[in-house]
Structure 1
Amino acid sequence: MPKTTNSPKAYSYVRFSTPDQQRGDSLRRQTEAASKWAASRGVELDNSSYQDLGISAFRGANAETGMLGEFRRAVEDGIIANGSYLLIENLDRLSRDKPRKAVRLLEEICESGITVVTLADQKEYSVAVLDEDPMAMMWALMTAMRANEESITKSRRVREAWGRLKTQAATHKRPMTKRVPAWMTLSDDRSEIKLIEDRTEVVRRIFREAIAGAGQHRIAHMLTTEGVQTFGEGKRKSSVWQRSYIKKILSNPAVIGTLVPHSTRVVNGKRVRDPLSPVKGYYPAAISVEVWERINGVGGPAVSPRMRGKTGEVSSLLASLATCPLCGSTMTRVNKGRGNGVPYLVCTKAKSGAGCRYRQVRVDGVEDAIRERASELFVSEMPAPDEALNIERDKLAMQEHATLESIDRLLDEIERGGTSRALRERLSLQEGALVEARAALAKAEERIGGDIRRSVELRLRSVVEALEKPDESPATINQALRQTFSKCVVNYRTGYLEFHWRHSERPTELVFGWPEELDD
């Protein structure tokens, strides 16, 4: 991986916790203030974007898994230089966690060599300031106390409001929210939940087919091939019926009119939902209790969760990444033959009978190509975040290559006896052009080598390390690939795997087989 020497810069961190703030003025206000501060101080404002949009800082998740956590890791890895500035609107943008934790976070950032600047009051916090100015530490603690108290009050009010809604739901059967199951709708005055008759009939049919012995896959395939419309609207509407959705309907007590509300708590930084007492009669029933119990039993759902293989772990390197080249749907792993069979990748849309071409691609050929050749290719062809820079770099690289070829031809002529002065002048000009081309290419590489790229390089390093271990598990390799790539088009028509980087629109292609010559 290329290494660069960094100089101190200013980095803007923007955070707000609700979608309403995103639709409002919060983002513009915070980014504009950062630009003005950097300009007034003559400090370069890095174009790397560290934004936690719609993320709360109440439990400190932004400092661990959000972009603030990404910023801190970049500081630890030396990507962001000592002496740099972190620009925030107020201290509560960093954290609304418990005051001691919030102040500790501020101290840890300062101790890593970063000066934190609060743009609203133009205060600066560094190790020296925190050590020498007791009022700075006092102000930070007071700000943290106020921010945490505000979040606690807001959280309590929200819980109380939901508690009242749950009580009303249990006693008066009054709708709690406008969200209802997909086969229901809420009246215009939001006072009554009604069944959507055509969708309700689909729900009833799903139960009839299941009672008759049809499996979830078969029911999904049946509905898809018959052209039965899936539930949902807009982007939430699937083009085909999925086994997982059939399972969800069969195990959802809402079909017999029962609401199961949940309470939410935070455990080790993660939200955990706990079921509360069921509210019977909250929804209009789509089926009878007797029909429900024939599928789920008296004690509740009997459908067991589906595991990935015998170990319950990811068994494919391209799980959640493999994409069909024809329709863009996910490709899933299937086994053909007796016993465990031979694993193939097939389009989920074709598998469910929704119209795409059913084409089997052998998994072993795909994964052998990834394990044997992908790491070197990824390192050499990692694109820049800005496509214009990619194009510029490619153009300069072509100029360098063309100049080298011209020099080689001139040297061949000289070796064959060419001694004219014009020939040597041309060689001198081409050598000068080569120096200029290489200098321009180096500058383009330097512009490409920004902080976002170096963060990508760190993620790519984990991919390379995983691929270079012969005994590394598919789950570990898959996790590393998913952190770096958004999808991998398994293009059996061309024989290439097209890896799409998360930070760039330019894919990297890896040969895995002959075009349209793969074994069926």
Structure 2
Amino acid sequence: MRVSTAMQVEGYSLEAQKDRLTKFAQFQDMEIVREYCDAGKSGKNITGRPEFSRMLQDVAEEKDGVSYILVFKLSRFGRNAADVLNSLQYIQDYGVNLICVEDGIDSSKDSGKLTITVLSAVAEIERENILVQTMEGRKQKAREGKWNGGQAPFGYELDSKNSTLIVNPEEAEIVRIIFDQFTRMEAGADSICKYLNQHGYTKKRLRDQEVSYFSRSTILKILDNPVYVGKIAYGKNKTEKVKGTRDQYCRVKQDEYLLADGLHDAIIDEETWEAAKEKRKRTGVRWVKTHSLDHEHILSGLIKCPLCGGGMSGTVQRRKNKKTGEYKDTFYYRCHHRKRVDGHICDYKPMLNQKVFNAEIEEFIRYMAGGEKFKEFLMEKLEEKVDVSSLEEEKKQLAGQFQQAQGSRKKLVQMLERLDPGDKHYDRKYQDMQERMDNLYDRIAELEEAITDVETKIGASYGKQVTGKKIYQFLLDFDILYGKMTDLEKKEFMRTFIESIELDPDEKDMGRIIKHIDLTFPVYYDGQEGDRIRMPKENTVETICKLVRK
């Protein structure tokens, strides 16, 4: 006997199955020697059905010399054709046959095994068709521009009656800020997070484990979602079977998917969306230089234009010596952005000589790293441990909710399978269950994303500690090691250690042009009065240090 859900359906409950089997055995003058019951177990496969496995083991041990196994219907024995036939062959090898009482099948008869083969295959196909029809229903809604289930994305509210989205004005303004910062201000995801959180912007907590502040994953999710340009996407992720397994599946991102015009209003325009999409392509992969010059613009992107705030990049001026005919390259940092500032195009024209400016920054780090208190601070940091216990607990809770949602989905599939097409309320029941299935798939996808987000945070916590320790270890011997590094290695170090270098627009002298430096990792320095440096803008920073100006 088996039921796959706690919701007992008349005629399929354990009691009803037992009663029918008992009466059949009495009528056939059979003796019942043992009963096996898998309550709340799916018939998709035999994995996870302890009583079924115990039954097969008892058959192999020839307990009580049984001749038959009685089941109410073939679907109670199993719904996977391969499992049904393998199990049937297994018990027949020990001289035991199968009788499906309600279906009138007896495997000991000539036609019995053929009938079982056909019915088990039909049952499996029917189960797969139900899943396909459910997903096709969601796909059709997407084609029509309707929201096809789940919670509304940030910036919108759900109009469930019309299956569409309505713009939330307050959240929509935040979405516009995110796209504007990313495309026009050239800010990255981390910088956008800091900007929003520091300016008091928050988001609604839809679940207990969610946070109200903005995270990197939230920003990237918004930037990659075409819903904000008035589109409905379907099939960005696909459930695929894990190779080498029978019933294991995983979610895989798809390069191509359905994208239809939505019935909802767009929050951003097409031009902004295309600009964000193009930048995501550029910044989503590691850039590798291909030109032949053996030179790296070490502080490119870290130096911020004092007028528009954009990252200053490297440029080269090549001059020819008229006497020798040789060329000499001089490298500079300059603002290549032409953003509008107060209604005017950014016209910051000064170019910073890279050799001089790089030396200024290197001298600051070298001077700072030479202090005894600084070295004591580094030794303490190298001994610190990372604490991710709260994140691990959050991941555990999400995993539990994910398993629960998966279980609910499986139960709903079983209920769909048992619907009687002859029932006068069949269409209504089917539609209701299909909508519930849509919501479950969305819930599962949301939980998968949430688990990935937590895992990313855990990895980032460990990664940040490892990176921080490498930086601290390097700083202990900075004066020796830095001179042996290639330009590319120096560039990677600076990008890891320094978040930004801001300039004073009023200072023309190179020696006083640096306004302040933001560091990525906490560093102790007992600087002089008037020195300029700032630590990372995080609540966890415990020390303040200043940039020494000799």
Range of TM-score over shorter length: 0.3 to 0.5
Larger Cα-atom Rg: 2
What's the TM-score once normalised by structure 2's chain length?
Answer: 0.40
